Structure formats: structure tokens, C-alpha cells
Amino acid sequence: MHTPDGLFGGVFGRGAVDTSDRAWLQAMLDTEAALARALERAGLADPGAGEAVTAAARAGDFDPAELGRQAALTGNPVPALVRELSRRLPAGPAAAVHRGATSQDIIDTAAMLLARRAFAVISADLAASAAAAADLAAAHRDTVMIGRTLLQQAVPVTFGLVAAGWLTGLDEARAALDRVAAGRLAVQFGGAAGTLAPLGSAGPEVAALLAAELGLAAPVLPWHTQRLRVTEIGAACAGAAGVLGKIARDVTLLAQSEVAEVQEGGGAGRGGSSAMPHKRNPVGSIAVLGCTKQVPGLLATLVAAAEQEHQRAAGAWHAEWEPLAGLLRLTGSAASWAADLLGGLEPDPARMRHNLAAARGFPLAENVAALLAPAMGRIAAHDLLAAASARAAASGATLREALAEPPEADRIAAAGITAGQLDAALDPARYLGAAGEFVSAALAAHASLIAG
């Protein structure tokens, strides 16, 4: 697992999402402390027990490595943690530690706490990225560039429309994260087999009080082997990662030397190469992709682990811990990188115009064919443009030059199409369809989301 201060942490552990051993440990201790407070509120623990356990539940006072070594004896670190926490307390408060709970209750609830804390960070970074994308969309609403489909030049679009696409993806990913955070992060408290038998009739009350103490949802019943909540966390991360990866891939393609329509900011030293002094690599985009490409496999592991036996799983539950932490960490790192990337992105409208002009009018063939179709028929117009385009491509001429030569020129004149009409049909700025309207719609939706 990559920590922010580890060798690969600068790439894969960027940002404020914390899934370190210390973070896991504190989340487990927070759960134990909240349980003690809930038991006290229910009259099942001595007065002051909750406060005493809470005061002792400080991760910095425990040794994660030693707890990990002890976990080899029991299959998870909770039994060792419970013994160590209890040892630090007087007999009264110690009796409230872990009462009625099983190890899975503590780790599952800790995972919910980690997810909530991570989602808050990721959501904030997605919001920052969306704000930057909105600025780009508004500033470049009318900046014409070539659109590309199947990696080939297609028809004109605007860079504002490209940025608006990024914006809507970011807003939708953030909304999905927020939905999971608001309604699907629930406390786990069921005891050995989901009955809370040691607490008798007070079990449901303690479960509700525990949820209230932690600010998590109270589920209908314990969900030990119903793992939809876990896969929903993973799916929300994967959705965000997909959106971020798409943006990063677009930037890497647009930043290629031969395209050069955008470049990343970042100042001196950013994007340097160990071998090639002249290079300025799109390091932010590369880092985003380095994070997001790991996400699908981790989500697949969570989905595979969701098939769990009877009341408690044999191994599948254990298989969730590291992939879930990895999903949170990598999505958080990608989101942090993306906020930096989009905040400093430098579009080059002049280069966009240059590349569009270098296409020699071919991307407007569709529009010219539409102009000719009413007079000569759709198929005949298509064939005329195909023949002219092929001849222009072979000779190095522009499409306009090819259309000025017979036999196409004669057929165009016979159709009653003037040179002015032909020039207008070959103007990229006049063949943008609803691009501007779509940009406005994306910006309006974003403003509505911000307004709440």
C-alpha cells in the first residue's frame, strides 16, 4: 500500500485521502469508543465508561505493526486491538469495550468511516476540477477545433464543448459519490451471527445509538454477508475514476507534439525526462491515468468477494480490505491530480485553428454534401464529395480547390450552388450545430448543482 511519504506516494498517494494503517486503526478505535458510549446511553455500561474509552482510543498510542503481527493468530487485528485497549482501562470502562460486537462489526464500520472521510476529500477535489472545467468551457465556448472520432479527424467542434463534456462528467461523478455518502454508509453491528444475542432485547437500541454516535445510517439489520454497500462504494469510486481517466486521456492526446492544442501548466521542472532534456511530459495526466487504470481490477475484486457464505464469510470478507482502501486512495489521488491539471491547463486556440486549416477542408465534406443534396439527391451528393476528396487527398489540394475543378465544378454549378454558398459551407465556424447551446446547458446545470 502506497503511503503519501512512500516511494510511489507522490503519484499514487497524492491528496488528503488517508487509508494508511494509522487511519484504519483510528477508525476502528472510533468505532469501539462509539460503542462504549452507546452502551452507556442504553444503561448497559458504567457511567463515564464511554468517556474513558474515548480518551484511550488514540491511534498514536498503539503499534499497528504489532497488532498486524498478532492478526496472524486470529485472521484480523481486532482481537489484539481489543485486548490492548482494554488493558489501558480500569475494569469498569474495560467491560464496555467490544461488548456485543464481533471483529467484522468493527472493521466494517471502520471501513464506512474511512469511506466517508475519503468521499468528502474526493468530492471537494472533483468540485475544484469542475470549477476549472467550467471556466474553460465558458472561456472557449466559441474556440473552434477539429473533432476526432476513432482517433481520426471528424467535424469541427469547440474546445468549450470538450471542456463542457468534462464538466458534466465531473458533476455527475461527484453527485454519485455524494449519494452514496449520504445514504449508503451504514454502521455494522450484529455480533457473532447477526442476532446481537449477548445484548438481549437491547441489541437494536444499542445499534441505533451506535449509528447516531458515528453519524452513520442505521441499517434495517446487520449486513455481514450482504455486501452491496461495499460494492456501491467501489462503484462510485470507479465511476469517478472513469471520468477522471477520460479527461486525462484527452489531455495526453491533445498535448502530443504533433497536435499541441493544450499543454499542462506546473512551472519549471514539471514533466521533465531523465534522458531527454527537451521534453515536457503531461505528468499530471499520466499520473491520473496511472491511478485510474488500477481501479477496475480492484472493483472486480470487491464484486467477486460479494458472494459470501451463510452468516459470515470464509475469506471473501478479508479479500475486501485492501482493494477497498486502494480504491479510495487511488481515486483520491487521481482527483487531486485532476484538480491541479485542469486548474493549470493551457489551451492553444491558434494551434487549434492551425490544425483545423491543415485538414484542407475535408472535415466539412459532410456539410457540403448536405448543401448539394436537395438539388442532386443525397447519394449523388455523397459520391461527388467522395470523388473530390479522394482527388484532393492524392494531389495535396484543398477540398475547395478540388470542387472548383471539373467535373465536380460543372455539376455544382448545374445544381445552382454559388461560390459564396460553397465557401460558407466550408467555414468551420458555421458548422458547429448546437455546440454553443450544449455548453450553455452544461454551465447552467453546473451552476444549479452549486446552488444546491
Please indicate whether residue 312 is annotated as part of the active site: yes
CB atoms near residue 105 (< 10 Å): 27
- Tell me the C-alpha distance between 33 and 36, whole Å: 5
- Tell me the C-alpha distance between 74 and 189, whole Å: 20
Question: In sequence order, what are the residues at sequence separation of 6 or more whose Cβ sits closer than 8 angstroms to the Cβ of residue 231?
Answer: 299, 302, 303, 306
Task: Determine which one of 69, 87, 179, 273 is catalytic.
Answer: 273
Please indicate whether residue 389 is annotated as part of the active site: no
Contact assessment for residue 77 and residue 67, using Cβ atoms and an 8 Å cutoff? yes
Q: In a 3-state reduction of DSSP, which class is residue 154?
A: strand
Q: Before 407, cis peptide (omega within 30)?
A: yes
- Tell me the C-alpha distance between 109 and 123, whole Å: 21
Question: In sequence order, what are the residues at sequence separation of 6 or more whose Cβ sits closer than 8 angstroms to the Cβ of residue 238?
Answer: 295, 296, 299, 327, 331
Task: Determine which one of 312, 351, 353, 411 is catalytic.
Answer: 312
Element (H, E) at 336: helix 321-343
* Catalytically active residues, by annotation: 273, 312
